[in-house]
Amino acid sequence: MTSPMVVIDRVTKSYGEVPVLRDINLEVAAGEVISLIGPSGSGKSTLLRCINHLERIQSGSITVAGELIGYRRVGNLAYEMPEKLIARQRARIGMVFQNFNLFGHMTALENVIEAPVQVLGIPRREAVERAGEILARVGLGDKLHTYPRMLSGGQQQRVAIARALAMKPRLILFDEPTSALDPELVGEVLDVMRALAAEGMTMMVVTHEMSFAREVCHRIAFMEAGRIVECGTPREVLDNSAFERTRAFLSKVH
């Protein structure tokens, strides 16, 4: 049994007085694809943002590949790490956003090589070659020199996934990757994610695409009001949930 990729242990987080995450416990195995579902405001995005320390948690701990995220542990004290070290941890955790967030002043290729060259120090020539391969893999081999605003939403999101992949991440966090897309463009992005799942990438996916969750995800976690209400296989959660809250939510989504 390999050690889990992500361990979220008794995590709480609040904005001022308002609790957003309450006592979250979750383990994600290496190669596992887990989807987070739940009503708006339940804390799904916040949880993802805590995993790469874009947000601070107030208590508990988050570990990715055995490394405590954001802090250095000495006995029972956890000192927040300097920005450089946090950046180094983030470099190995991919993140894909609802609004793509491609760098608007850079072509697709430049978007993909930016972090490998600037952050990992990979020689430009090598980075360009690898970026070409990755973009071809997501079906954009002919769009290398196109700026984001000239790409469709689906194409932009695939560039964003390529940009995350170029950092050779151990884990990719997806925050509603298809919510901003026209319905006919959703499929092309989900296809790329399906292929990644098949290759054994560890992925945490916040989504409203129940068919994707059912087909591709190994487990589904249902969140509400900052808690994980239940977590199980798609069958357990989507078809035979023991929880009234889950069934109520699902009946609204379908």
Partner 1 sequence: MTVLEAHSNSVADHRPSEEPRLTYVPAKAWGTRIAAVALLLVVVSFLWSIASNPNFGWTVVGEYLFDPRILSGLYLTLWLTLVTMVIGIVLGTVFAVMSMSGNVVIATIANAYIWFFRGTPVLVQLIFWYNLGALFPELSIGIPFTSLWISVPTNTAISPVMAAVLGLGLNEGAYMSEIIRSGLLAVDPGQRQAAKSLGMTSGRALWRIVLPQAMPIIVPPTGNQAIGMLKTSSLVSVIALSDLLYSVQTIYSRNYQTIPLLIVACLWYLLATTVFSLIQARVERHFGRSSLQASQARRARQ
The CA–CA distances, whole Å, from 106 to 81, 103, 205 equal 31, 6, 27
CA distance 76 to 97: 34
- The piece of 26-34, 113-121, 192-200, 202-210 that touches partner 1 (CB under 8 A) is 113-121
**Contact with Mg ion (CB under 5 A): which of 45, 155, 157, 207?**
45
| Out of 42, 52, 111, 241, the residue judged to bind ligand ATP by CB under 6 A | 42
Name the token pair of 110: 């430049």
Q: Between residues 38 and 169, which has the closer beta carbon with respect to ligand ATP?
A: 38
Q: Which of 10, 25, 41, 124 binds ligand ATP (CB under 6 A)?
A: 41
Q: What share of the chain is helix, strand, coil (3-state, %, to 5)?
A: 40, 25, 35
Q: Does 20 bind ligand ATP (CB under 6 A)?
A: yes
Number of C-beta neighbours around residue 130 at 10 A: 17
Residue 173 CB contacts under 8 Å (≥ 6 apart), including other chains: 48, 51, 52, 93, 94, 95, 96, 203, 204
Q: Name which of Mg ion, ligand ATP, partner 1, none residue 94 binds, using a CB cut-off of 5 to 8 Å depending on partner kind.
A: partner 1
Which listed residue (101, 170, 194, 236) binds partner 1 by CB under 8 A? 101
Decide which of partner 1, ligand ATP, Mg ion, none touches 71; Cβ closer than 5 to 8 Å per partner kind.
none
The residues of the shown chain that bind Mg ion, judged by CB under 5 A, are: 45
